[in-house]
């Protein structure tokens, strides 16, 4: 991803649902931040435990802790960036930081990185997400073709985590299903079967989920519905039992294998 790192501060922090903390960060250095990056991700650089200053030099001996987050919004006037952090679901440096952040806290923002789904010419899209990727979906909903069939399934464990998406009303072909379940490994797959069985053409499938779910859905749609490799855009946004640094190493090893 583009490695420009900008120093920023927390402008506001709001618990928008039981498991989402919305944090707006601002900076004079956002003046040249791309305005069309809604739905793209940034790396958030965080201070080490007990410290308030964040190391912005990515090559430093003791670099900042870094985690990926997706841009919900970019303020058209002051360039402030809105990010939603999953909290109360796990203990990690970023979720802990987000829970305790106060106005004025310092972070680094690197990026934005490229969006994963780039083919905007298909007639059918099936988009699978959880709370970590809800803002990626929000971004795609603004740019996918109006006349394409776009079926979105977002699984959440708690009904109160259903948040508003900026759905364009004119896009009557776009449907959003919030799947409230504690068992996505079976119920999300059941939904995927239901949707895929109803398509008369191969969908473009985008999924950004926990790693083992990505694997299961990929296996299902490949084996049972013969969805081509080129029609699957899949990303493990997190992996149960492994932190983001460990997951990054795994992904690097897999891409080399």
Ligand X SMILES: Cc1cc2nc3c(=O)[nH]c(=O)nc-3n(C[C@H](O)[C@H](O)[C@H](O)COP(=O)(O)OP(=O)(O)OC[C@H]3O[C@@H](n4cnc5c(N)ncnc54)[C@H](O)[C@@H]3O)c2cc1C
Among 241, 253, 255, 257, binds ligand X (CB under 6 A): 241
30 versus 238: smaller Cβ distance to ligand X: 238
Choose the binding region for ligand X from 82-90, 119-127, 196-204, 222-230 (rule: CB under 6 A).
82-90
40 versus 196: smaller Cβ distance to ligand X: 40
Q: What is the number of the residue whose Cβ is closest to ligand X? A: 92
Kindly state the helix (H) or strand (E) to which residue 176 belongs, with its residue range. strand 174-180
Rounded to a whole number of angstroms, the minimum distance from the CB of residue 257 to ligand X is 20
Q: Residue holding tokens 């009557």?
A: 172
Question: What is the x/- site pattern for ligand X, positions 184-223, by CB under 6 A?
Answer: ----------------------------------------
> Which residues are within 8 A (CB) of 178 and not within 5 positions of it... i.e. 6 or more apart?
154, 155, 156, 159, 162
Among 25, 43, 66, 69, binds ligand X (CB under 6 A): 69
Segment 116 to 145, residues that bind ligand X, using CB under 6 A: 132, 135
Task: Establish if 92 lies at the interface with ligand X (CB under 6 A).
Answer: yes
Choose the binding region for ligand X from 138-146, 189-197, 221-229, 240-248 (rule: CB under 6 A).
240-248
Rounded to a whole number of angstroms, the minimum distance from the CB of residue 70 to ligand X is 3
107: three-class secondary structure by DSSP: strand
Q: Which residues of 56-86 are buried (b: 16+ CB within 10 A; e: fewer)?
A: beeeeeeebbbbbbbbbbbeeeebbbbbbbb
Count of residues engaged in binding ligand X, rule: CB under 6 A: 25
Rounded to a whole number of angstroms, the minimum distance from the CB of residue 108 to ligand X is 15
Helices (H) and strands (E) in the chain, counts: 5, 11
Local structure of residue 135 (DSSP, 8 states): H
Task: Establish if 17 lies at the interface with ligand X (CB under 6 A).
Answer: no
Tally of CB atoms within 10 A around 239:
16
Among 13, 17, 27, 70, binds ligand X (CB under 6 A): 70
45 in Cβ contact with 107 (< 8 Å): yes
State in Å, rounded, how far the first CA of the chain is from the last one.
21
221 in Cβ contact with 117 (< 8 Å): no
Interface positions with ligand X (CB under 6 A): 41, 67-70, 84-86, 89-90, 92-95, 132, 135, 235, 237-244
């Amino acid at each position: 991803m583009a490695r420009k790192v900008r120093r920023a501060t927390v402008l506001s922090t709001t618990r928008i649902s039981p498991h989402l903390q919305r944090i707006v960060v601002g900076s004079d250095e956002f003046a040249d931040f791309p305005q069309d990056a809604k739905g793209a991700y940034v790396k958030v650089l965080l201070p080490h435990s007990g410290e308030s200053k964040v190391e912005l030099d990515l090559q430093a001996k003791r670099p900042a802790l870094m985690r990926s987050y997706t841009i919900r919004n970019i303020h058209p006037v002051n360039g402030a960036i809105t990010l939603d952090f999953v909290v109360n679901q796990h203990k990690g440096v970023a979720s802990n930081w987000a829970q305790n952040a106060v106005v004025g806290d310092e972070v680094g923002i690197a990026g934005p990185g490229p969006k994963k789904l780039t083919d905007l010419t298909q007639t059918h899209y099936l988009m699978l997400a959880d709370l970590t990727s809800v803002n990626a979906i929000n971004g795609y909903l603004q740019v996918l073709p109006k006349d394409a069939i776009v079926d979105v399934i977002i699984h959440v464990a708690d009904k109160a985590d259903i948040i508003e998406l900026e759905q364009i009303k004119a896009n009557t072909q776009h449907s959003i299903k919030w799947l409230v379940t504690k068992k996505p490994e079976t119920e999300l797959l059941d939904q995927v079967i239901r949707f895929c069985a109803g398509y008369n053409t191969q969908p473009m499938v985008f999924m950004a989920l926990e790693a083992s779910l990505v694997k299961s859905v990929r296996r299902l749609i490949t084996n049972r519905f013969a969805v081509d490799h080129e029609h699957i855009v899949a990303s493990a946004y997190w992996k149960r039992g492994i932190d983001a640094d460990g997951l990054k190493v795994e992904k690097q090893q897999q891409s080399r294998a």
